């Protein structure tokens, strides 16, 4: 198995996030490969770690001072065995090929877990929307789409949002793509409700995460009621995770951004969450303002994602990392386990470092990997695609019911796959195995392409 990792490290040097994601999957699927030699014979892993296509392009645009800015855009079309490429677009200065390859690799398994016909992809740019005016963001999105448009299509590749790409950016990119293609064809998901978007898409990742947690707790005859929850991030996923935790009777007490976190011992309620949504989605301010407004909250600054002595050290029942990759390290994991945390549900993609994940898995607490517990977002994107193909809309209630059902099926599939291959109750192994088998069998059926 280590040969696969060697190949990846040689062919993709300097891409630690991609190596980390591959290593986790390779370890999980070893018993599957041992039991079914066809996967080794067909060189499935060797093919899975090589993107079907990797596009990198120049994005030149004019800022408000009429200065020319140059960024780099990417689309990683990882695997189309199960359907057209599907995955978000990230705008963040940390974006480079390695981050997008890790995300596209994870996405392939995640999309398989949803049971919907979607392959895996991911894209983005090192563009930083922070501090940019709406018109600058629009010009950037238009230039980005001027190139990306030739590589995507509603039966080819359907991007969505991710870090730094919300409703505003999807709107600008959709408008540009529509103009270039002269077709209103649902080539992006996460569109506004009323112009092709699905009800509940905005909420879906955070809600789905909490539904998944509810499923895990139910196995232990427990629930979210009265559970104290620590949540990181304050973007799309974190906001809607907090919303659903409140809805189900839990008590969220933290939220964060890349500058720091707030700790509100009285709990974040619906009114306080409205303040957060306005602060982050409309005013695009810093989370520190929460503590300036609510005296029940304290604010702690963090440096460059460093969580040492940070929010993971606060005693709680459940933890939901919803910001970014590798935001929760070894010491944080030790602290969480030492403090008696009952559940960790990943809202972000790969928020735990490999060392942190190992500690958490060994401890035996309930722990769901992002590729399973944040799959509600892409599942609802799939539901948006269905509505676009049919040219109709479904109600919020109907979409929410489908989301709940999908999350519950993913949960069960993870448990079943884990048990079948000797990893009982290990959701990480279960998600990797269930996703792998689905994609691998489709690849074998489709021949060497
Ligand atoms: P947003 O851009 O809406 O929010 C991201 C949040 O994380 C912000 O609060 C941001 O802080 C914080 N953050 C970003 N980078 C860092 C960093 N390096 N250190 C500390 N904090 C950071 O993104 P989303 O909520 O959409 O995405 C969050 C995570 O969830 C990502 O891992 C994404 O891949 C994953 N995800 C998202 C899905 C979706 O539907 N949106 C679907 C599945 C997974 P600041 O405000 O300072 O930038």
Tens digit of pLDDT per residue, the chain (449 long)? Answer: 679 999 999 999 999 999 999 999 999 999 999 999 999 999 999 999 999 999 999 999 999 999 999 999 999 999 999 999 999 999 999 999 999 999 999 999 999 999 999 999 999 999 999 999 999 999 999 999 999 999 999 999 999 999 999 999 999 999 999 999 999 999 999 999 999 999 999 999 999 999 999 999 999 999 999 999 999 999 999 999 999 999 999 999 999 999 999 999 999 999 999 999 999 999 999 999 999 999 999 999 997 555 555 899 999 999 999 999 999 999 999 999 999 999 999 999 999 999 999 999 999 999 999 999 999 999 999 999 999 999 999 999 999 999 999 999 999 999 999 999 999 999 999 999 999 999 999 999 999 99
Domain positions in the chain? 2-185, 203-364
Q: Which of 100, 122, 235, 238 to mutate to test the pocket of ligand 1 (most atoms within 8 A of CB)?
A: 235
Decide: helix, strand or coil at residue 359.
Answer: helix
Pick the CATH number of 2-185 from 3.40.50.10860, 2.30.30.30, 3.90.700.10, 3.30.530.20: 3.40.50.10860
The best mutation among 113, 167, 257, 326 to test binding of ligand 1, ranked by most ligand atoms within 8 Å of the C-beta, falls on: 257
Q: Which atom of ligand 1 is nearest to the CA of 305?
A: 19
Separation CA 165–CA 381 (nearest Å): 15
Give nearest CA residue, ligand 1 atom 39.
162
- Given a contact cutoff of 8 angstroms between Cβ atoms, the answer to whether 367 and 342 are in contact is no
**How many contiguous H segments (helices) and E segments (strands) does the chain have?**
17, 13
For residues 98 and 16, is the Cβ–Cβ distance under 8 A?
Answer: yes
Which token pair is 357? Answer: 């994940």
Protein residue with its CA nearest to atom 7 in ligand 1? 323
Counting Cβ atoms within 10 Å, is residue 330 exposed (0-12), middle (13-18) or buried (19+)? Answer: middle
* Identified catalytic residue from 122, 178, 244, 438: 122
Angle subtended by helix axes 427-445 and 97-114, to nearest 10: 90
Residue 77 phi/psi, 5-degree rounding, is -100, 95
From the centroid of its chain, how far is CA 328? 15
Annotated catalytic residue 293: no
Residues having CB within 6 Å of any atom of ligand 1: 161-164, 166, 205, 233-238, 257-259, 305, 322-324, 327, 347-349, 374, 377
Cα gap 435→115, rounded to integer Å? 9
Q: Which of helix, strand or coil describes residue 321?
A: coil
How far does residue 111's CA lie from ligand 1's centre (Å)?
19
Distances (CA, A) of 214 to 8, 93, 109, 224, 345: 36, 35, 22, 6, 10
Instruction: For residue 162, report the distance from its CA to the centre of ligand 1, in Å.
Output: 7
Fold of domain 203-364:
Rossmann fold (3.40.50)
Decide: residue 322, CB within 10 A, 0-12 exposed, 13-18 middle, 19+ buried.
buried
> Matching CATH topology for 2-185 and 203-364?
yes
């Amino acid at each position: 198995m280590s040969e696969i990792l060697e190949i990846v490290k040689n062919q993709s040097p300097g891409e630690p996030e991609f190596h980390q994601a591959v290593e986790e999957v390779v370890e999980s699927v070893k018993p599957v490969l041992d039991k079914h030699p066809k996967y080794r014979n067909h060189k499935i892993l060797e093919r899975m770690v090589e993107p079907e296509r990797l596009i990198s392009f120049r994005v030149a645009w004019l800022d408000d001072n009429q200065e020319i800015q140059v960024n780099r855009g990417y689309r990683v079309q990882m695997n189309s065995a199960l359907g057209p490429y599907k995955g978000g677009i990230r705008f963040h200065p940390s974006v480079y090929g390695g981050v997008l390859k890790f995300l596209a690799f994870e996405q392939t398994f995640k999309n398989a877990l949803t049971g919907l016909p979607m392959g895996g992809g991911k894209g983005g740019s090192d563009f930083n929307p922070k501090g940019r005016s709406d018109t600058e963001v629009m010009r950037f999105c238009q230039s980005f789409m001027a190139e990306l448009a030739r590589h995507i299509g509603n039966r080819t590749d359907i991007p969505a949002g991710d870090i730094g790409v919300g409703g505003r950016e999807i709107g600008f990119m959709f408008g540009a793509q529509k103009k270039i293609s002269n077709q209103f064809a649902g080539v992006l998901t996460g569109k506004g409700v009323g112009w092709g978007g699905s009800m509940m898409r905005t909420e879906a990742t955070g809600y789905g995460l909490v539904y998944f947690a509810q499923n895990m707790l139910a196995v232990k005859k427990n629930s979210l009621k009265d559970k104290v929850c620590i949540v990181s991030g304050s973007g799309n996923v974190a906001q809607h995770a907090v919303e659903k935790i409140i809805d189900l009777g839990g008590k969220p007490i933290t939220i964060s951004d890349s500058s720091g976190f707030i700790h509100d011992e009285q709990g974040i309620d619906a009114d306080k969450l409205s303040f957060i949504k306005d602060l982050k989605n409309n005013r695009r301010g810093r989370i520190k303002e929460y503590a300036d407004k609510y005296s029940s909250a304290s604010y702690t600054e963090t440096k460059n994602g460093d969580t040492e002595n940070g929010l993971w050290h606060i005693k709680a029942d459940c933890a939901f990392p919803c910001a970014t990759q590798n935001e929760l390290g070894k010491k944080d994991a030790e602290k969480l386990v030492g403090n008696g945390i009952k559940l960790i549900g990943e809202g972000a993609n790969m928020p735990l470092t490999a060392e942190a994940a190992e500690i958490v898995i060994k401890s035996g607490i309930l722990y769901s990997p992002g590729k399973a517990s944040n799959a509600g977002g892409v599942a609802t994107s799939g539901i948006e695609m269905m509505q676009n193909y049919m040219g109709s809309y479904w109600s919020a209630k109907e979409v929410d019911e489908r989301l709940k059902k999908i999350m519950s099926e993913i949960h069960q599939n993870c448990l079943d796959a884990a048990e079948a291959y000797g990893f009982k109750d290990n959701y990480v192994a279960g998600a990797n195995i269930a996703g792998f088998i689905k994609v691998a069998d489709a690849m074998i059926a489709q021949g060497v392409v």
